[in-house]
Amino acid sequence: MKIVVTGAAGFIGSNIVKGLNARGIDDIIAVDDLTEGDKFKNLADLQIADYVDADDFYDLFAEGAFGEVEAVFHEGACSDTMELDGKYMMDNNYTLSCELYQSCQEQGTRLLYASSAATYGGSDTFAESPEFEKPLNVYGYSKLLFDQRLRRELGAKFENATSQVAGFRYFNVYGPREQHKGRMASVAFHQFNQFRAEGKVKLFGEYGGYAPGAQMRDFVFIDDVVAVNLWFLDNPQASGIFNLGTGQAQPFNDVALTVVNTLRQSQGEAALSLEEAIRGGMIDYVPFPQALAGKYQCYTQADLGALRAVGCKHLFSNVQSGVASYMTSLGQIA
C-alpha cells in the first residue's frame, strides 16, 4: 500500500506517518518544504520510502509519476491563523488542494484532507452545515472555500465521489511533534516551557463575557486525531466532511492546571486545586490582546453526529488524560 502524506514534517503529518509505521506501513512518500530545516526532526525517527519537495510534488503527482497510490493524507497547508497575506494563503490552502483533488479523482486515489474548525469562526454551533460556517480570518476562509468547492462537485456529503474524499475539521490539537510551530503551537506546549522557565503558566484574562481562563475549547489529543484518520483509511466507503474534536469543550483553566499538576508531580510535589494554583501564583492571567479582539473563538465544541453516523466510534481522551500524557513525553525529551 503506497501512501502520500503532504505536510509530512509538520505536526499532524508526522504523527500520521508515525501511526502508519506502527501498522507496518512504510511505503510512504513524504511531501513538505524543509526551508525551515529543523522540521527534519519530526521525520528522523520514522520510516519513509521517499521525500519530495512540495514545489515539485503536485505537478509530478498529476502526471502519475508515483504510480499507483492508495491514499493521500493532505496535511500540507499554511496553518498560521494570524497570517494576513490572503494571496499566499489561498495559493497554499485552496489552489493546491483543488489541483490535488482533481489528480486524486482522475487516478482513483483516496483523499483524506485537513479542513479546520476555523471554518466555524463566529458561529456558536459546530456542525458540518453551511449555515454555521462563519470564518473570522483568511485561514478559515481558505479551508472553507475548498470544502465548498467539493460540496458543489461531489454533493453535500460527497456522495458522488468516485473514490473516497474525507475532510477533517480539526479543533484544538495538541501533542508531540509540534515544537516547530512557534506561536501557533498549542497552549499546553507553551505552558510546559513557561512552567519550566518561570514556575508559572500564562492564560488570557477576562474576555468575551468569560472569566479569566474560562474560555472553552474542544482540545483534542494528537493520538486521537491519528486514530480517526486511520479509521477512515480502513473504511474507504466513508466520505464527507467531519468534525475531529472530542465533542466536549473544556476551559483553558483545565489545560493550565493539568500542566502545573503533572509537572509538579513529576518533581514529587502534591497536586493543587485551581484556586490553590492561582493563589500560589502558578497561573498568571494576562490581558487579552487587542490584536485578537473580534477574531477569537471563546467557545468551540465539535458536534460528532456526522462522525458517529458513518460508524466511527473512537473514544477521545479528555484534557486531564491527554495533556498529562503529553507533559510526560515532553519531560522525557527535555
Enumerate the active-site residues. Answer: 139, 181
Place of cell 511533534: 177
**Which residue, 163, 165, 181, 162, is CA-closest to 173?**
181
Which of helix, strand or coil describes residue 255?
Answer: helix
Which of helix, strand or coil describes residue 79?
Answer: coil
Residue 27, CA distances (Å) to 7, 17, 65, 71 in order: 16, 10, 15, 11
Residue 234, CA distances (Å) to 27, 101, 223, 227, 312 in order: 17, 20, 17, 11, 11
Q: What are phi and psi of 140, to 5 degrees?
A: -60, -40
Non-local (6+) Cβ contacts of 204 within 8 A are 212, 213, 215, 252, 285, 286, 287, 288, 289
